[in-house]
Amino acid sequence: MLDFTNFHNLNYSNAFANARRTQINTTKMKLVINFIVLCFLCSNFLSAQINTDRPNQTDSSSTLPEGSFQIESGFQVGFNTIGATTARQILLPINLFRVSLSEKLELRLINQLQLNKRGEEKIQGIGDIELGAKFQLYKKETSPLEVAILSHLVVPTGNFSLSNRQIGNLTKIAVSHPVTKNLGLSYNLGFSSIDSGDMDLSYSVSLGYSLNQKMSLFIEPYGRFDDFEDVEFNVDAGFVYLIKDHIQLDLVFGSGMNYDNNFLSVGCSWLFLRNTNTQVE
């Protein structure tokens, strides 16, 4: 999932002055292109079963069904205090596009529109794109354990004031297994290198409980070690609800445990399977 704790990575110093000079037409054009591509991809797809990476921080250890395409989109608002000033960040929308190449391999793309405010200063635009893949390392019918690896390349394509202005990498190992019939455990361990070559270690542990076939609850501690030194501890909780087997709604709320950070996110995910002669039960 997207990292909901990166307020301190926002470039506030000269960002707001530069943002006022951002060309609005460019932002609109990017949104139009995204919409056209989305419509094109969806035109030849049928519905199937769904398994998502949102809304929590812990990415799933499962890959998409072969030949499928999935959209995971959401809205997020977060607040963080920097000194005596409150910073607000709105992401609308956060988009994760997933395309299956095989039973074990999928390609991924993340982009988002950001609306940031610190005091009376505002900045808005498109953030950096993330391009990546997920590969399932272990899955057997005789074992409840699943293991996958996913890696994203952060490409500095965003508006100047919102971009990291350099290529970065995010890599995770994702593991999951059931605990009881209705209780499941998933956890991630990852590292990232984005800001000035610093290496950050991240972790997350998600405990999920199925109330019924439609609705599940989860609670999740997560955090990171910035440059393997400064530590951030967070916790979030929420639920997912299946409208249909291929459409899922979600809500999550999270907060920092050792620093000031709060966020709320709601989203919807939709899975499509290519139109073939194979029937999906």
Q: What is the pLDDT of residues 137-161, one digit of tens each?
A: 999 999 999 999 999 999 999 988 8
- pLDDT (tens digit, 9 = 90+) per residue, 261-280? 999 999 999 999 876 544 34
Contact indicator for 154, 170 with CB cutoff of 8 Å: yes
Structural domains present in the chain:
6-274 (2.40.160.40)
Query: Which pLDDT does position 19 carry in this prediction?
Result: 42
Amino acid (one-letter) located at 2? L
Mean pLDDT of 119-135: 93
Amino acid (one-letter) located at 61? S
**Contact residues for 115 (Cβ-Cβ < 8 A; gap 6+):** 89, 90, 91, 92, 122, 123, 124
Beta strands 168-178; 215-226: pairing state: unpaired
Token pair, residue 225, equals 């070690």
pTM (2 d.p.): 0.81
pLDDT at position 23 over 90: no
